[in-house]
Structure 1
């Protein structure tokens, strides 16, 4: 059985690591009309139509000037002999940026796109976010510059020269069940009605399983058994890797930490299947691993 690829994961995509230091090859591919150059403006990806979104690629007749002025150009990889690049055009003012198409928050349209296309735009967004926040060296404060086709930044201070690599923040997300019920919770900042499973960031010196147990106990006071890894998903909003687990609670009795959650409740499969999907109750978005955790549990008996 083929491995299922979660939304925003590039899967078996050739990231062309061996080409990142090949400056002549990169220049050749940037000039190749067959290459696909994806513009991004202030962390907004370009799509052709927000209602039926497909990635916008720069027109070969216009892209030379944009590449020359771009703050960052990143080699994403190669697929079917086509080379893919990210071009950060955040230097443009809003009027000039709008001439290239619809610059949108990927979270608003990603679920409407083919999985691989959404994954490439998410990959581009995640790298852009990292570059935006590492323009200066954390050790000496000097400016940094992009290296390795956009996959490194190096301090320009010759007495320092520290090289930085893109970072991802690990976060655990967990489906907690007790018998034939699943725990659903919501945060006050979420859209009206939206409920999901619990999640939280991994702390230094902590295993993933320990993070699962700690977060659940902190947020609802439950103890867990049978903590099992489920799957993972890149979530570049802004820079997380979601590591999903399932776990069984030792009791149904919980207490909500109101500093973390607005509410929580146990729900049966039938209650979830009858979800009104409105402002009173709705499941998490379809491109999220939280949704997959819930749907996988629903399929266990249905």
Structure 2
């Protein structure tokens, strides 16, 4: 089975930030950057990002500085240093405690939207920074207490770590690895339709979380067999995509199907089928649809189709 290279970067990759992790421990630098008028703040409100021009079809991230950012910080939510963007300190700030954060901002600053709905339309780099902020703020909001003893935690490392106030255990942001794979047999590929898909005609690549003590290749083979009964041979890495919805990274593969018969796990999938290249090239004509253009699933399918 030949390796198929990624044709272009995935959404949420290509961050313009220098994470400058060594500066997270510099209390004077962080304190000064929080008050500096040219520092940038990426607001997150209940897992949504502040965007402008969405209705016009030209979404762009709205980054705050100066007094506009200070008003959101006074809302009392967590914040964290993300890094340096063209030399400017950049922070994430969560304003979920406010029932409506827009009155805290200057007029016509945009609105809060689900990042997934517009990521493919954002300028390069912006989607990555917004995803970084969203994922880190989700972790901060959901991990206020120690998983060891249950006591309250307080932020460390400019918001990139938490320390227990009782047992001193340190906690760091988690990222859950998930494999996503296009299984290929001859001139056909295997796609499934999940019960969770809002689009009733969409078929996509199979995917699942990596289990403890399992290699990525083993996870690919196990997930495919569990969901469809198809045995997998060679597994080739393709690319990865951060997926902070809420805290995953998608690890993409092409995999060789050794068997053809499908034994569906009806708890996981509503349907699974083998599709020819001709069907994949014209899905609407054959009564189904593919994943969104900005997804790694679509990238896996299209790179195989055009290989």
TM-score of Structure 1 vs Structure 2, range by shorter chain: over 0.9
Matches of 1:181 and 1:171, distance apart in 2: 24
TM-score, L = length of structure 2? 0.91
Q: Contact 1:76–1:86 (CA<8 Å) still a contact in 2? A: yes
Report the alpha carbon displacement of residue 81 of structure 1 after superposing the two structures with TM.
Answer: 1.3
Q: How many aligned positions are there?
A: 297
Q: How is 1:257-268 mapped onto 2 (pairs within 5 angstroms)? A: 257-268=265-276
Matches of 1:164 and 1:127, distance apart in 2: 13
Report the alpha carbon displacement of residue 130 of structure 1 after superposing the two structures with TM.
Answer: 0.8
TM-score, L = length of structure 1? 0.92
Q: Contact 1:70–1:87 (CA<8 Å) still a contact in 2? A: no
RMSD: 2.1
Residue equivalent to 1:245:
253
Report the alpha carbon displacement of residue 243 of structure 1 after superposing the two structures with TM.
Answer: 0.8
| SS of match in other structure, 1:149 | helix
Residue 12 of structure 2 is aligned to residue 8 of structure 1? yes
Residue equivalent to 1:222:
230
Residue equivalent to 1:198:
206
Residue equivalent to 1:181:
188
Report the alpha carbon displacement of residue 2 of structure 1 after superposing the two structures with TM.
Answer: 11
Matches of 2:33 and 2:247, distance apart in 1: 28
Matches of 1:11 and 1:36, distance apart in 2: 15
Residue 34 of structure 2 is aligned to residue 25 of structure 1? no
Report the alpha carbon displacement of residue 69 of structure 1 after superposing the two structures with TM.
Answer: 3.6
Report the alpha carbon displacement of residue 95 of structure 1 after superposing the two structures with TM.
Answer: 6.1
Matches of 1:225 and 1:97, distance apart in 2: 56
Residue 162 of structure 2 is aligned to residue 153 of structure 1? yes
Q: Contact 1:10–1:120 (CA<8 Å) still a contact in 2? A: no
Matches of 1:261 and 1:3, distance apart in 2: 29
Q: How is 1:121-140 mapped onto 2 (pairs within 5 angstroms)? A: 121-140=130-149
**Structure 1: any 5+ residue segments left out of the alignment?**
none
Residue 103 of structure 2 is aligned to residue 94 of structure 1? no
Select which of 50, 53, 63 maps to 1:49.
53
Report the alpha carbon displacement of residue 3 of structure 1 after superposing the two structures with TM.
Answer: 9.2
Residue 68 of structure 2 is aligned to residue 62 of structure 1? yes
Identify which of structures 1 and 2 has the higher relative contact order when contacts are C-alpha pairs closer than 8 Å and 6+ apart: 2
Matches of 2:296 and 2:22, distance apart in 1: 31
Q: Contact 2:43–2:50 (CA<8 Å) still a contact in 1? A: yes
Report the alpha carbon displacement of residue 53 of structure 1 after superposing the two structures with TM.
Answer: 1.4
Residue 155 of structure 2 is aligned to residue 164 of structure 1? no
Deviations 1:25-61 (A, max 9, x none): 1222222222211111111111012232111122523
